[in-house]
Amino acid sequence: MLKAMVVDDSRAIRLILRKTLGKLGYEVLEAAHGKEAVAALERDPEVNLILVDWNMPEMNGLEFVQYLRARPGYSQVTLMMVTTETEIEQMITALEAGANEYVMKPFTEDIITDKLRLLGMIA
């Protein structure tokens, strides 16, 4: 089974993304910030896809992307930033840091689905 993680300090956003990913056949793990996500990955490293917010306490989304991309075991994990950051400079920064895709909030289920299809994560 495909496994995804949603990393966002908003429980409501985690719930929305969990439901969307669940409909697409993913088992979904959740984390409220980057440090919690790192700990979850250490316990369960078989994650194929991570959707991560930028603005979070402890370890923000950009720091998380940089941390993960510096670890050889996670170089193939697909990372999608899902954030309120709408400046083009932030999008470029996230993509240069290793995010595979960038989605701005608010988003729809269709936007998430379309981005995952573009990334080859769903048929």
Helix (H) / strand (E) element for 52: namely strand 49-52
Measured distance CA(48)–CA(76) in Å, rounded: 8
The per-residue pLDDT for 80 is 98
In a domain, 123, yes or no: no
**Cα–Cα distance measured from residue 90 to residue 44, given in angstroms and rounded to the nearest whole number:** 29
Are 82 and 103 in contact, with CB atoms under 8 Å apart?
A: yes
Domain interval for residue 69: 2-118
Could you tell me which residues come within 8 angstroms of residue 122 by beta carbon, excluding any fewer than 6 positions away?
24, 25, 113, 116
Tens digits of pLDDT across the chain (123 residues):
799 999 999 999 999 999 999 999 999 999 999 999 999 999 999 999 999 999 999 999 999 999 999 998 888 899 999 999 999 999 999 999 999 999 999 999 999 999 999 999 997
- Report which of 55, 57, 58, 68 is spatially closest to residue 5, judged by C-alpha positions: 68
Provide the CATH number for the domain around residue 22.
Answer: 3.40.50.2300
CB distance 36 to 64 below 8 Å: no
Q: Residue 46 CB: number of other CB atoms within 10 A? A: 9
User: Residue 94: inside a domain, yes or no?
Assistant: yes
Residue 17 lies in a domain: yes
- Count structural domains, the chain: 1
Judged by DSSP in three states, 53 sits in coil
